[in-house]
């Protein structure tokens, strides 16, 4: 009788703690936002990025729009957005974003994008036109833009900054030692320089990072020091959650008390606003970060 080969046991991931709760999307406002997004053929980071706060934000009538398509030229190990060669480049997108913002009647709008490294201007023209169109159609709406690094081609950055959105955000995402794993096509110092240049331009700056990827407390503190010294006004810190089994596994779940510690430390350092908690994402409570 042939012996059956022993099956290898797959290592179990870290179980989610009971204090980490995600509410399912529901409600009339959620349905309304979903309808507007669908009818205007728009992308949102809420859906494409599998954001755990989609139910709360859409239920409040807000969404983070994602421009320049939904395929990214980079392959960050934490991100649920598709990676590949983008085919979509819609010059009418700025007008459709503006129409959606008007229909939703939002007081504060957040816009982000995929990386479009294959384009000569890295998408800066569409970025600038989108800000311009939103401000034209909804002049009382404040605007936060979560922008890529434009591969340090600073003329592209300034093309966006010239439109003077109220908040300019660029996420560090993680500590310096994990960049090769988490953000292999990005550079830690490049991102810091972009934040510094934005601050020098006279605009409100914002950045964020995910915790639980394998960083140490000392590295988190160093990241906060680096952001503070490079002119970052608003800081967001949240728990990394693995979007699929193909993505970077969670190394640790950070207790809410530790997030409160980072919030307190950040405010002592001089950040104007610190949003720190397990479910915090870059655009979470973004309307508070304008003032």
Tokens of 265: 């430390």
Residue 287 phi, psi dihedral angles, 5° rounding: -60, -20
Rounded Cα distance, 170 and 152, in Å: 13
Q: What is the dihedral of CA 235, 239, 244, 249, to 10 degrees?
A: 110
Kindly tell me the sign of the dihedral angle through the C-alpha atoms of 144, 27, 97, 66. positive
Each of the 291 residues of the chain gets a pLDDT tens digit; together they read 444 444 334 345 566 777 666 555 555 665 666 676 666 665 555 544 455 555 555 445 456 788 998 899 999 998 888 889 887 678 888 998 898 888 877 788 889 999 999 999 999 999 999 999 999 999 999 999 999 999 999 999 999 999 999 999 999 999 999 999 999 999 999 999 999 999 999 999 999 999 999 999 999 999 999 999 999 999 999 999 898 888 999 999 999 999 999 999 999 999 999 999 998 987 766 667 776
- DSSP SS3 for 156: helix
List of domains in the chain = 28-289 (3.20.20.70)
pTM of the shown model: 0.84
User: Is beta strand 43-44 parallel, antiparallel or unpaired with respect to 64-67?
Assistant: antiparallel
123: left (phi over 0), alpha (psi -120 to 50) or beta: left
User: Is beta strand 108-113 parallel, antiparallel or unpaired with respect to 204-211?
Assistant: unpaired
Residue 75 phi, psi dihedral angles, 5° rounding: -130, 60
> Which parts of the chain fold into alpha helices (H)?
28-39, 45-48, 54-59, 93-104, 124-137, 154-161, 179-182, 188-200, 217-229, 256-269
């Amino acid at each position: 009788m042939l012996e059956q080969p022993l099956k290898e046991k797959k290592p179990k991931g870290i179980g989610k703690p009971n204090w980490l709760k995600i509410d399912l999307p529901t409600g009339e406002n959620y349905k309304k936002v979903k309808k507007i997004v669908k009818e205007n053929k728009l992308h949102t980071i809420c859906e494409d990025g599998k954001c755990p706060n989609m139910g709360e934000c859409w239920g409040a009538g807000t969404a983070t729009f994602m421009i320049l398509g939904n395929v990214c030229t980079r392959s960050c190990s934490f991100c649920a957005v598709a990676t590949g060669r983008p085919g979509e480049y819609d010059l009418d997108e700025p007008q459709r974003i503006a129409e959606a913002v008007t229909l939703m009647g939002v007081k504060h709008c957040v816009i982000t994008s995929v990386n479009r490294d294959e384009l000569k201007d890295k998408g800066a023209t569409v970025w600038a036109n989108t800000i311009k169109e939103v401000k034209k159609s909804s002049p009382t709406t404040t605007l936060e833009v979560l922008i890529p690094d434009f591969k340090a081609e600073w003329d592209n950055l300034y093309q966006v900054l010239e439109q003077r959105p109220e908040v300019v955000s660029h996420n560090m995402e993680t500590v310096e030692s994990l960049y090769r794993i988490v953000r292999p096509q990005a550079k830690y110092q490049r991102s810091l320089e972009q934040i510094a240049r934005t601050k020098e331009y006279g605009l409100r700056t914002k950045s964020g990072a995910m915790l639980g990827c394998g960083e140490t407390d000392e590295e988190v503190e160093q990241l906060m020091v680096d952001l503070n010294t490079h002119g970052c006004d608003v800081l967001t810190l949240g728990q990394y959650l693995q979007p699929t089994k193909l993505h970077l596994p969670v190394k640790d779940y950070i207790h809410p008390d530790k997030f409160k510690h980072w919030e307190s430390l950040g405010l002592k350092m001089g950040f104007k606003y610190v949003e720190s908690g397990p479910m915090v994402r870059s655009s979470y409570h973004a309307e508070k970060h304008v003032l």
